[in-house]
Amino acid sequence: MRDSTKTAIVLSSLAVVFLALAAGFLFKAWGQTAPLQTIPLVDPEFIKTATVRVSYAELAAAGEDLSDFDCYGCHEKGKPPTLRFDENHNLIVPEEHKDIVMGHGRNSRNNLCTNCHDEANLELFQTRDGRELKFSESTQLCGSCHGPTFRDWEAGAHGRTSGYWNRDLGPISRKDCVSCHNPHSPKFPGRHPAPPPHILHPTLKPAPVSEGEH
């Protein structure tokens, strides 16, 4: 056979093979590939960076409604409110303050309003060591009883520090205790864990997430 005939045979067989492959791909001769899973976006609940509460200081800075803190809109100056108790010596929270749920400490050992609020001037806090503090200074109030946690907070081991690692570039800021803890029932409630990463391999099943206690 002449060389040119050989070349022609090889080339045309290659062309046939490629055409066959093209047809195979076109008509999906090897079956359908599994469709890509649509991966739902993560619930923004798990990625938002806001703290769970907004403190008085943050409300004031944002120019929000501060009427909850206008004690003398209802109370009379020079007339300290009297604390009332039921027969088991549990504090009775009056109707007008029913959104306040008192439960400070596992045994409610710090439920008396006047342990923190100054009865003589409701718009101030009072500490055991005799300091008078503004609503915006509540972290000092917490620190007056929670010394070790306050030290941890000052050192950045408790709470949250934001701002610059390099203090030459800018300041740091620390979130106030009440941005995370409700002062009246400060136990930090449990939170749902974020979902596990989404698997890409469709044949693998994710481990079952147990419902119930978290």
Q: Which residues bind ligand HEC (CB under 6 A)?
A: 51, 55-56, 68-71, 73-75, 81-84, 91-94, 96-97, 100, 102, 104-107, 109-110, 113, 115-117, 122, 128, 135, 138-139, 141-146, 149-150, 153, 158-160, 175, 177-181, 183-184, 186-188
Between 5 and 82, CB nearer to ligand HEC: 82
E strand or H helix that includes residue 99? none
- Other CB atoms within 10 A of residue 77 CB: 11
| Nearest-angstrom CA–CA distance, 2 and 16 | 22
State the minimum distance, in angstroms, from the CB of residue 47 to ligand HEC: 16
Closest residue (Cβ) to ligand HEC? 105
Q: Are 190 and 214 in contact (CB under 8 A)?
A: yes
Between 34 and 47, CB nearer to ligand HEC: 47
State the minimum distance, in angstroms, from the CB of residue 104 to ligand HEC: 5
Between 38 and 82, CB nearer to ligand HEC: 82
CA 186 to chain centroid: 15
| Tokens 């002062």, residue located | 183
Collapsing DSSP to helix, strand or coil, 1 comes out as coil
Chain length of the chain? 214
